[in-house]
Structures are given as C-alpha cells and as structure tokens.
Amino acid sequence: MARLFGTDGVRGLANGELTPELALSIAASAARVLAAHDRSHRQVAVVGRDPRASGEMLEAAVVAGLASAGADVLRVGVQPTPAVAYLVGALEADLGVMISASHNPMPDNGIKLFAAGGHKLPDGIEDEIEAGLDSDGPRPTGAEIGRVSDVDDAIDRYTNHLLAATPHPLTGLRIVVDCANGAASFAAPEVYRKAGAEVIAIHADPDGININEGCGSTHPEKLQALVLEHGADLGIAHDGDADRCLAVDASGELVDGDQIMAILALAMAEAGELTHDTLVATVMSNLGLHLAMRDHQVSLRTTAVGDRYVLEELRSGGYALGGEQSGHVVFPALATTGDGLLTALRVMSRVASTGKPLAELAGVMRKLPQVLVNVRVSDKATVATSDAVREAVEAVEAELGDEGRVLLRPSGTEQLVRVMVEAPSQEIAQAAADRLAGVVSSVS
C-alpha cells in the first residue's frame, strides 16, 4: 500500500479519496500520537483552512477528531498556510492542521500537519499517525474531551508578524495583487496597504468554488494585463493557500521564483543576512540563477525537487534563504515554511528601498530557455543504467559547455523520465531535448 502522506501532506478529491471519515481519523491519530510522545500536558492544535467549499466539511471532521482524542482546538478560520504555521508557534500549540490543496483545482483538498513551532512533522511521526488510523482509542470522556474555541485575532497576529519582518516601507508603490480567490484574499491586500503600498486587489472574492479558477500564480495573464492598465509598479500573484509568490514587472513580464530568489539573495548578502553567502534551490532552478549567483560570489546548493528537501538543506546547513522556481521561498529566520506574503513584502521592500524598478532588479539574472519533455517508459531503472542514455547526455553536455545544462529525472509516481535541457536559445534546447527523449524512449 502506498504511503498516505506525500511530500506536502495528504491530498485528494474531497469527499472522494479525502473523505470526512479519513480526515477525522487522521486528526484523532495525530492527537493520540503526539500525546503518547508528551504526556506532560493536554495537547493543543491550531486548525485553519483555505476557502474552498469542502474545507468547511473537512474542518468539522478534523476538529471532531482532535477533540475526540482529547486535544483542545484553536480554530483560526480561513488563513494562508504560512499563517497557520506561524500561529502554531505564536499560540504555543503542539500541532497545526491546514486544510488546503494549495494550487490544485477546487474539487481537491488536502491536510497538512505542522509540529510544535510550526515545523513540518518528521517522517517518523507521520508514519506513526498513518499506522494509528484504524485504532479506535483511547477515547476520553467527560472533562477529558477536547474543547474548541476560535482565535478572533489570528489574522492580526499574522499580519503584525509580517509587518515586523518588512525591512522598508512600501510608500509610493502602486501594486496589483492577484489573490487567486484563495486564503490570501483578505490578508494580502490588508498587509500590503499597511506596509504603505497603494493596492489594487483582484480575484479577492472567494465563494468556495472559484479558488484558483483561471487566476493566481498558475494563471497570471489577467494580472499581467492589469499591471499595464493601471500603470502599476508591479504585480504579485499568489496561489490558493498563499505559500507561493510570483511577480510581474511594470512592463507586464512575469518574474518567477528563480528571479525572486536572485533579487532576495543579493539583498540579503548586501545586508549581511545571507548565512555563509549561500542560497538553496532545487535541481530544477534555471542555469541562469547559478550563473548570476556565481557572478556575485554567492554559493548555490541544490536539492531534489520539493520544498521538504529545500527545508532539510536549510536546516542542516543553517542557511538563510531557499526556494523553488514555482515561487515557494523560505526564510528560516522568519518563517518555518514557504510564505508568499512574506516573499512579496521582501521583494517590494527591495524595490522601494533601492528606487529601482522590478525589471532592473530581476535583470541580474538572465533566464536560459528551458525545455522539459516527459518520456513514458516501461522501466525507469533501465533508463538509469543505460550506457546509450549516458553517452547521449554526455554528448549534449559537451556541445552546450557552460552555456547549457541537461537533467534527466525519473518521476516519483509514474513510469516517466523527465528530460530537461537549458541552452542559449529555445531552438537549441528543443532540439537537444527531443534528441535525448528519443534515446530514452528507444532503450526502454
């Protein structure tokens, strides 16, 4: 049987794979496991959600599961994922539960768990929770049943934290923010205005159905058009649970997570905040980021794809900044997980403090054209050990030299090999990727 917990919690079709019965079982098992590890006090859990309709149903199930296992519940309502992570620490809770499927379509939902302090639960604890799903006890009674209360000032606690982490006011900036009709719909416009910006908010009217629907970081086209229409200095795009941030410059050009990390890494290095002058990114980050960091004497450490691997590297090395091309950026000194609002505030603060437009700041990095081809194979292991594939990769790498890069990566869930090539031009990258894809296909 496949492991229930993926790299970012449990996700699936709400009321399909992710039923209220499963949500209740996960919550009850989590409370029992944590109580078994620390019996010194009654467990306290923070529960938040994004605004998709199924979140109401799943929140009720999660709260019931936690309380039935003896944990007290602090409901914080509709909040960004990073807000829930922050509030776990701020409220001195033992567990955090975020009900969201992030950038996934509305019919999906998910459950993400945070340990004390707002950190990701260790794999071992997740395994214990999964192993305890079929357990029916112990079941406390009477006064031992968990109590449920609402945290009325949750959003204020989170936005005050964000404002304290913003190094320069945004006075004079006109921005457009796309909230994806998601969890950032109130918090993002509110905190950006409090930081001093003139804010035009779009897709900030969630109705439970319209989250991520043709908007947000996965569909930035309307944001790009409105930045031009309003003569804004820049635009910010969030996903459904606001743990990501992409940007748009004044000319309507998209600024992705790699460019955002380049801007922030240099700003932090200048301020003496970039520990060991090192940035952490995944293997999918553009070669242009590697070259830009090398030119500015910043080391770049790469990890496997997934925010959990970025977090592991940040913690093990004591580094201060890391993230993904998708706009999932982590500042360990300020947050325990990716925070799209914090990222946006830091980028806008850099624009305001330098007086330079976003396009100029992002220009420190030249993005190389990147082509990704998914090749369906019968056996990924055969591809990994193939001499023909290795020789083909070496030949393309020799042709590209320092001006390109090749990455072959097997899918973690399917019989697919992902062929990624970066090169000086789109044509060169496409030709090389197609050539390698042909070799991969022929050996399996």
pLDDT tens figures, 165-195: 999 999 999 999 999 999 999 999 999 999 9
Q: Does residue 41 have a pLDDT over 50? A: yes
Q: Does residue 3 have a pLDDT over 80? A: no
DSSP conformation class of 211: T
pLDDT mean over 199-221: 97
Is the domain of 268 the same as that of 337?
Answer: yes
Task: In whole angstroms, give the CA distance from residue 208 to residue 107.
Answer: 10
pLDDT at 12: 94
pLDDT mean over 31-36: 94
Is the domain of 400 the same as that of 354?
Answer: no
3-state percent breakdown (helix, strand, coil) of the chain, nearest 5: 40, 20, 35
pLDDT mean over 98-127: 94
pLDDT at 310: 94
What is the CATH number for 59?
A: 3.40.120.10
Is the domain of 147 the same as that of 259?
Answer: no
Please report whether residue 4 resides in a domain: no
pLDDT mean over 309-332: 95
Is the domain of 337 the same as that of 219?
Answer: yes
Structural domain total, the chain: 3
pLDDT mean over 317-344: 96
Is the domain of 62 the same as that of 190?
Answer: no
Residue 412 binned pLDDT confidence (cut-offs 50, 70, 90): low
Is the domain of 191 the same as that of 292?
Answer: yes
pLDDT mean over 223-232: 98
pLDDT at 192: 98
Q: Which residue has the higher pLDDT, 103 or 238?
A: 238
| Arithmetic mean of pLDDT over the chain | 95
Residue 413 binned pLDDT confidence (cut-offs 50, 70, 90): low
Q: Which domain, by its residues, includes 40? A: 10-152
Please report whether residue 355 resides in a domain: yes
Question: Which residues does residue 150 pair with via DSSP β-bridges, in sequence order?
Answer: 75
Question: Which residues does the annotation mark as catalytic?
Answer: 102
- Least confident range of 3-17, 161-175, 269-283: 3-17
pLDDT at 379: 86
Please report whether residue 2 resides in a domain: no
Q: Please report, rounded to a whole number, the percentage of residues in the chain having pLDDT higher than 90.
A: 87
pLDDT mean over 377-381: 87
Is the domain of 259 the same as that of 388?
Answer: no
pLDDT mean over 417-438: 94
Is the domain of 279 the same as that of 416?
Answer: no
What is the CATH number for 404?
A: 3.30.310.50
pLDDT at 67: 98
Among 33, 350, 6, 293, which Cα is nearest to 166's?
A: 350
Domain closes at, from 152, 180, 200: 152
Sequence-distant (≥ 6) Cβ neighbours of residue 127 within 8 angstroms = 3, 5
Task: Please report, in angstroms and rounded to a whole number, the separation of the first and last CA atoms in the chain.
Answer: 26
Domain closes at, from 362, 390, 405: 362
Q: Does residue 299 have a pLDDT over 50? A: yes
Burial class (CB in 10 A: 0-12, 13-18, 19+), 142: exposed
Is the domain of 300 the same as that of 235?
Answer: yes
Is the domain of 164 the same as that of 146?
Answer: no
Is the domain of 128 the same as that of 178?
Answer: no
Among 397, 392, 307, which Cα is nearest to 343's?
A: 307
Residue 126: CB atoms within 10 A of its CB come to 21
pLDDT at 39: 85
Sequence-distant (≥ 6) Cβ neighbours of residue 270 within 8 angstroms = none
Q: Does residue 259 have a pLDDT over 50? A: yes
pLDDT mean over 77-100: 98
Please report whether residue 337 resides in a domain: yes
The residue type of 416 is: L
Is the domain of 218 the same as that of 354?
Answer: yes
Q: Please report, rounded to a whole number, the percentage of residues in the chain having pLDDT higher than 70.
A: 99
Task: In whole angstroms, give the CA distance from residue 398 to residue 405.
Answer: 10
Please report whether residue 55 resides in a domain: yes
Q: Does residue 308 have a pLDDT over 90? A: no
Domain closes at, from 114, 132, 152: 152
Residue 1 binned pLDDT confidence (cut-offs 50, 70, 90): very low
pLDDT mean over 427-438: 94
Task: In whole angstroms, give the CA distance from residue 275 to residue 385.
Answer: 38
**Burial annotation 260-279 (CB, 10 A radius, 16+ → b, else e):** bbbbbbbbbbeeeebeebbb
Please report whether residue 77 resides in a domain: yes
